[in-house]
Amino acid sequence: MKTSVRVWSASVASIAFCFFVSAVCWWQPDAWAAFLIWPRWLWLAPALLLTGLSWHRSAKRFAMVAGLVWLVYVAIFVEELHCHPHPSVPTGVPVRVVSLNCDCGNKLAAAEVIALNPDIAFFQESPTTREVAAIARQLYGRDDGFVVTGNTSLIARGRVTPVAVARPWNMHITEARVTLTNESQVAIISLRLWPYDLRTDLWTPDCWRAQADARRRQRKLIDWLIERTAGIPRDIPLIVGGDFNLAGNDALLQSLKPRLHDMFRAAGTGWGNTLINEFPFVRIDQIWGNDAVHAAHVFVQRTKNSDHRMVVADLNLPRKR
């Protein structure tokens, strides 16, 4: 009798915990940011423990119900296990875009993009202006193919026209208009959202306050970005890339739709997580594009000199008429 009560209690606890985690992941309130910064698959560990404790011949049905509930959770919230389509892409102008967080301005990390020969590269935690200019010169043979603003920068193959960004947003965003070598026009933005602090002291009120404050700052910057990009004509290709410091399925990023689309979700292959480089547990580095940008292939590549992996997106832009 005692065993039956124990295993039944474990099943109920597992199901209750699943509903709790699902509710937080569904509504994602700012006050729960300290919980939301962790990858959704992490909560499967206590789930497996509780489900294992509930597995007994006298209560197998309860354990199976708990397992099915968690499978539904995985299907909805665990992005890493989702399959991404590899669509047929209409003929257009091929453009390779790379985004990389350079780990506190490490020029060796930024230089790793050279081997990929990108048409556009976004840097966060950017190296200095001189170092970014040297990379652009080595790739494109030009002295004007780059823009550096605050903590972010970008380089591009073609005529690069900087777009002024007001304070304090210029510490997080670099924007430019680019005329590619085939005369195609594209608007590009490199960004780094306000970072969370990966704290594990969840029992302290200060941890919850600090993470909630960081999330509110992220929300303000995303709202500003949406307003900013609304002024760009929809027929002009728009590419936004960078370190979003948010998981790919975070609710804050959903507000970018339908104006922008996550290129990895459109045509990503392989393991898409980017942080940390040695054991990538979350996909915070991303590339987004508007309806004029079509994803052909998107993947993530390990780096040697950064704590992030880089995102590589092979895109197609409309041909100039």
Q: What percentage of the chain's residues is helix, strand, coil (to nearest 5)?
A: 40, 25, 35
Contact 185, 238 (CB under 8 A): no
pLDDT band, residue 66 (cuts 50/70/90): confident
- Check residue 251 and give its pLDDT: 93
- Please compute the mean of the pLDDT values over residues 70-95 and round it to a whole number: 79
The string of DSSP letters for 94-147 reads: EEEEEEEE-TTT-HHHHHGGGGG--SEEEEES---HHHHHHHHHHHHS-SSSEE
pLDDT band, residue 20 (cuts 50/70/90): very high
Would the pLDDT of 57 be above 60? Answer: no
- Check residue 309 and give its pLDDT: 98
CA distance 311 to 113: 10
pLDDT band, residue 308 (cuts 50/70/90): very high
Nearest to 94 by CA among 313, 243, 248: 313
Query: What distances in angstroms separate CA 159 from CA 132, 141, 146, 185, 320, one per listed residue?
Result: 16, 12, 9, 10, 16
- Check residue 84 and give its pLDDT: 67
86 vs 29, more confident: 29
Question: Mean pLDDT score of the chain, rounded to an integer?
Answer: 89
Question: What structural domains does the chain harbor?
Answer: 2-81 (no CATH), 93-317 (3.60.10.10)
Would the pLDDT of 1 be above 60? Answer: no
- Check residue 104 and give its pLDDT: 93
- Please compute the mean of the pLDDT values over residues 179-200 and round it to a whole number: 88
Would the pLDDT of 183 be above 80? Answer: no
